[in-house]
């Protein structure tokens, strides 16, 4: 079974090497989507023997994720994981993310940071809950962590996703697609490591507001 890890990365030179090395202990096929980074992200990832796809210009998380998933499918991946480049995920969580898919209990697995007692800052916890509510209200799909970056898809799920959003709103869009395509979803509790660095990479209040507006537009968008 071919398993690929997709890491969308924009200016992540500080963390990318460690993230790739940690993942390599579990999975060898790593695709880094360098989303028009201005630092050495792409070069460092290549040195770590990751497969690097570089966007000419920065397109945002959604753009990078969809490129990575498509690239993995081109490599004939059977299972595709998405993994944040900022170092907030633990590679040790990978085996339990894959297990439900290997046992064909689920088409999609989402690593939820809300199911276990994580040391998530309260404002971040609130932001995730608001994200969950918006996702539920707009798309009728509920998960405990709609904004998680750690996900696993089987081939069928990965190739059926229709992703059109460019930025952070992609996380909720994926939940919407899971619901729309009637994919079997399983949530697995994961640990998240919060550093000042990973927090600075997340959404602040205004970005969150913009994300909400984009999701509203997505809801009413014509095909």
Partner 1 sequence: MLPIQIIILLFLVFAVLKTVSGFKKGRVKIKELISWFVLWTGVAVITILPQTTTFFAHMLGVGQGADLVIYLSIIVLFYIIFRIYMKLEKIESDITRIVREITLKSKR
Based on the shown chain and the rule CB under 8 A, indicate whether residue 63 belongs to the binding site for partner 1.
Answer: yes
Based on the shown chain and the rule CB under 8 A, indicate whether residue 131 belongs to the binding site for partner 1.
Answer: no
Based on the shown chain and the rule CB under 8 A, indicate whether residue 62 belongs to the binding site for partner 1.
Answer: yes
Dihedral class, residue 67 (left if φ above 0, else alpha if ψ from -120 to 50, else beta): alpha
Based on the shown chain and the rule CB under 8 A, indicate whether residue 223 belongs to the binding site for partner 1.
Answer: no
For residues 152 and 81, is the Cβ–Cβ distance under 8 A? yes
Based on the shown chain and the rule CB under 8 A, indicate whether residue 132 belongs to the binding site for partner 1.
Answer: no
The nearest distance, CB 41 to partner 1, in angstroms, is 14
CA dist 47 and 51 (Å) reads 10
Burial class (CB in 10 A: 0-12, 13-18, 19+), 24: middle
Residue in this structure with the two tokens 């095909």, named with its chain if needed = 223
Size of the site for partner 1 (CB under 8 A): 21
Based on the shown chain and the rule CB under 8 A, indicate whether residue 74 belongs to the binding site for partner 1.
Answer: yes
Residue 63 vs 111, nearer CB to partner 1: 63
The nearest distance, CB 26 to partner 1, in angstroms, is 24
Q: How far is CA 41 from CA 16, 164, 195, in A?
A: 7, 25, 19
| DSSP letter (8 states) at residue 210 | H
CA dist 188 and 101 (Å) reads 12
Based on the shown chain and the rule CB under 8 A, indicate whether residue 32 belongs to the binding site for partner 1.
Answer: no
Q: How far is CA 77 from CA 5, 29, 68, 170, 213, in A?
A: 10, 9, 11, 21, 34
Residue 53 vs 153, nearer CB to partner 1: 53
CA dist 78 and 101 (Å) reads 10
Based on the shown chain and the rule CB under 8 A, indicate whether residue 139 belongs to the binding site for partner 1.
Answer: no
Q: Which stretch binds partner 1 (CB under 8 A): 50-58, 91-99, 149-157, 191-199?
A: 50-58
Residue among 16, 66, 94, 110 that touches partner 1 (CB under 8 A)? 66
Residue 2 vs 221, nearer CB to partner 1: 221
The nearest distance, CB 56 to partner 1, in angstroms, is 6
Residues that bind partner 1 (CB under 8 A): 33, 53-57, 59-60, 62-63, 66-67, 70-71, 74, 164-166, 214, 217, 221
């Amino acid at each position: 079974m071919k398993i690929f890890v997709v890491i969308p990365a924009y200016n992540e030179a500080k963390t990318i090497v460690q993230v790739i090395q940690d993942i390599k202990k579990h999975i060898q096929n790593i695709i880094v989507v360098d989303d028009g980074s201005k630092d050495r992200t792409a070069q460092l990832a290549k040195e770590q023997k990751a497969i690097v796809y570089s966007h000419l210009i920065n397109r945002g998380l959604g753009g990078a994720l969809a490129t990575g998933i498509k690239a993995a499918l081109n490599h004939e991946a059977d299972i595709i994981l998405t993994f944040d480049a900022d170092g907030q995920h633990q590679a040790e969580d990978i085996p339990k993310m894959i297990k439900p898919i290997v046992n064909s209990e689920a088409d999609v697995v989402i690593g939820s940071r809300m199911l276990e007692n994580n040391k998530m800052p309260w404002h971040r916890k609130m932001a995730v809950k608001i994200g969950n509510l918006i996702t539920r209200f707009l798309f009728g799909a509920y998960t405990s962590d709609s904004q998680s970056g750690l996900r696993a898809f089987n081939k069928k799920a990965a190739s059926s996703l229709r992703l059109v959003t460019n930025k952070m709103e992609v996380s909720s869009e994926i939940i919407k697609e899971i619901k729309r395509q009637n994919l079997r979803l399983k949530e697995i509790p994961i640990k998240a490591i919060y550093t000042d660095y990973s927090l600075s990479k997340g959404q602040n209040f205004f970005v969150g507001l913009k994300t909400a507006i984009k999701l509203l537009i997505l809801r009413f968008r014509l095909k």
